[in-house]
Chains A and B, each alone.
Chain A
């Protein structure tokens, strides 16, 4: 077959180059950063103008002062919390994804486990968290367990949805090549589900932070959640806010790490998504 490409090259250079002279990260970060700076300035001016006492609402300058001076204390507790978050999240992934695979590939799992799983989500995890203290004491494990319980559901759901949403033609195609269920899973279903799975992972990592804090609220002797309670009972609002700053930082950094992994694992999806956003602007 000798044939000239009549259609020509794909239109235009890749998306990143098309943005022009401003690098992508500048536009990506300048808007949220600008918004945050604006908010902080407004907060500072507001607190000063209203002459609010620091135990009610400390100005950002004081909060960041505490963030700096108490950095050792805060970091120590932050490490504890981060460990709990990560352990809970990893547990969710290790249990959630295989469970979803089971649900998709076995009628029995689908009929028995899935409904239980869905209905169990109506039980507020915070309500059962005290039970974990009774069972497992004040150590790390009950916090990890709460983080796991809160974060694993979105992973299961997004994985199930991803594994199920395959174009029938793709299945036809690979069957015509003689593929069995294993090939179909490895070469079609799983990679096809990855974008959806990562959607679930991103929700899960933020929920895992919530879970760890809830666990620490119930009973702990360290961690940012514990520090929040202590600061609160001492009316040390500056420290309280400083702990929140740390907590937010942990949440954002973990989320960004998941996004980085997504970018590395499924570049084909991430690039396409960027393209769509660009066109809608």
Chain B
């Protein structure tokens, strides 16, 4: 498949069966993520962002609609991708390097071919010298950076990230945002990025998909027409502020965001 979107959602819905009745998490979600595109999914807490991400990876059954990756319908777990969850999800019993190498082991790739790359990736996120520590010896932010390396080690064409920087402090977060942009610019990857943060979404994305509160629907899709590579200063420009305001207005209209 040379043309067409990389990842495509068509009227995707999800109903959770819970103890006190069905929970309607997603309702008719339709949009595409193109090749080499960086798309953010932005929405209030509980609107179904994580759910959509898990469904798109084939890890959670959907209740209706179709999802395709490279034209093929998603049925069952997809392996041509890397995932970063909201929490680091490191294996406590493995040292940092072995946590990253889990990806290689399970995929039956050759360990000796990836060991060096794993070390380089860890070094690139400031974890040089921590390769042989256990996760409990790291800070929360360091753990999340290990999780990011684990999602990148096998160089997947698609990167799914669920609020990967949510647990980081503001400074590390800015650095990670810049690093992610660089990584994306240098690679051919498609990134599907879930976030709560309007500036983060606008800064990183080609397009921002804004979702409504539960049941999650696509409210609006913004194409962010700002030059790349973007620098942190871009957040002070009129154009950037206009995008952020337009998105904020949607949340205000929903009452998710209340101004005084």
| Interface residue ranges, A against B (CB under 8 Å) | 1-7, 10-11, 14, 167, 169-170, 172-179, 183, 187-188, 191-192, 194, 266-269, 271-272, 275
In the bound complex, CA of A268 to CA of B96 (Å):
12
B52 smallest CB distance to A (angstroms): 14
Specify which of A7, A14, A179 is in contact with B106 (CB 8 Å cutoff): A179
CB contacts (< 8 Å) of A179 on chain B: these are 106
B3-34 with Cβ < 8 A to chain A = none
In the bound complex, CA of A10 to CA of B126 (Å):
13
> Do A10 and B139 form a contact, CB below 8 Å, given A169-B87, A187-B105, A268-B93?
yes
A196 smallest CB distance to B (angstroms): 13
For residue B220, CB closer than 8 A to chain A, the reply is: no
In the bound complex, CA of A173 to CA of B153 (Å):
14
CB contacts (< 8 Å) of B79 on chain A: these are 176-178
CB contacts (< 8 Å) of B155 on chain A: these are none
By the criterion CB–CB under 8 Å, are A177 and B106 in contact?
yes
> Do A191 and B87 form a contact, CB below 8 Å, given A7-B169, A178-B107?
no
| Interface residue ranges, B against A (CB under 8 Å) | 54, 57, 59, 77-79, 81-83, 85, 87, 89, 91-93, 102-103, 105-107, 121, 124-127, 133-139, 141-142, 169, 171-172, 175-176, 179, 182-183
CB contacts (< 8 Å) of A11 on chain B: these are 139
Interface centre among A14, A174, A267, A271 (most CB of B within 10 A): A174
A12 smallest CB distance to B (angstroms): 11
By the criterion CB–CB under 8 Å, are A3 and B141 in contact?
no
By the criterion CB–CB under 8 Å, are A10 and B85 in contact?
no
When C-beta atoms are compared, the residue in chain A nearest to B59 turns out to be A172
CB contacts (< 8 Å) of A1 on chain B: these are 121, 124-125, 179, 182-183
By the criterion CB–CB under 8 Å, are B142 and A10 in contact?
yes
By the criterion CB–CB under 8 Å, are B171 and A6 in contact?
yes
CB contacts (< 8 Å) of B89 on chain A: these are 167, 169-170, 173
By the criterion CB–CB under 8 Å, are B87 and A268 in contact?
no
> Do A3 and B126 form a contact, CB below 8 Å, given A172-B83, A175-B59, A176-B81?
yes
CB contacts (< 8 Å) of A191 on chain B: these are 91, 93
In the bound complex, CA of A173 to CA of B89 (Å):
8
> Do A170 and B91 form a contact, CB below 8 Å, given A1-B182, A275-B136?
yes
Q: Which 4 A-B pairs have the closest CB atoms?
A: A5-B126, A1-B124, A177-B106, A1-B179
By the criterion CB–CB under 8 Å, are A194 and B91 in contact?
no
> Do A268 and B136 form a contact, CB below 8 Å, given A170-B91, A172-B57, A183-B106?
yes
CB contacts (< 8 Å) of B135 on chain A: these are 268
Specify which of B102, B106, B137, B171 is in contact with A10 (CB 8 Å cutoff): B137
Specify which of B57, B141, B169, B176 is in contact with A176 (CB 8 Å cutoff): B57
> Do A7 and B141 form a contact, CB below 8 Å, given A2-B124, A169-B87, A172-B59?
yes
Interface centre among A1, A10, A170, A178 (most CB of B within 10 A): A1
Specify which of B107, B124, B134, B169 is in contact with A177 (CB 8 Å cutoff): B107
CB contacts (< 8 Å) of B85 on chain A: these are 169, 172-173
A171 smallest CB distance to B (angstroms): 8
CB contacts (< 8 Å) of A192 on chain B: these are 91-93
Write 7 A-B pairs (CB below 8 A) sorted by A numbering. A1-B182, A167-B89, A169-B85, A175-B59, A176-B81, A177-B103, A191-B91
CB contacts (< 8 Å) of A176 on chain B: these are 57, 59, 77-79, 81-83
By the criterion CB–CB under 8 Å, are A187 and B106 in contact?
yes
CB contacts (< 8 Å) of A187 on chain B: these are 91, 102, 105-106
In the bound complex, CA of A100 to CA of B137 (Å):
32
Known: A177-B102, A272-B92. 10 other contacts (CB 8 A): A1-B179, A2-B124, A5-B142, A6-B172, A6-B175, A7-B142, A14-B137, A176-B78, A188-B91, A267-B134
> Do A5 and B91 form a contact, CB below 8 Å, given A10-B137, A187-B106?
no
> Do A3 and B103 form a contact, CB below 8 Å, given A176-B59, A269-B92?
no
> Do A5 and B127 form a contact, CB below 8 Å, given A167-B89, A176-B79, A176-B81?
yes
In the bound complex, CA of A269 to CA of B136 (Å):
9
Interface centre among A11, A173, A268 (most CB of B within 10 A): A173
Interface centre among B54, B102, B105, B179 (most CB of A within 10 A): B102
In the bound complex, CA of A175 to CA of B83 (Å):
11
CB contacts (< 8 Å) of A194 on chain B: these are 93
B247 smallest CB distance to A (angstroms): 27
Interface centre among B57, B82, B89 (most CB of A within 10 A): B89
In the bound complex, CA of A200 to CA of B23 (Å):
38
When C-beta atoms are compared, the residue in chain B nearest to A275 turns out to be B136
By the criterion CB–CB under 8 Å, are A4 and B126 in contact?
yes
CB contacts (< 8 Å) of B175 on chain A: these are 3-4, 6
By the criterion CB–CB under 8 Å, are B142 and A175 in contact?
no
In the bound complex, CA of A270 to CA of B91 (Å):
15
By the criterion CB–CB under 8 Å, are B126 and A173 in contact?
no
A214 smallest CB distance to B (angstroms): 37
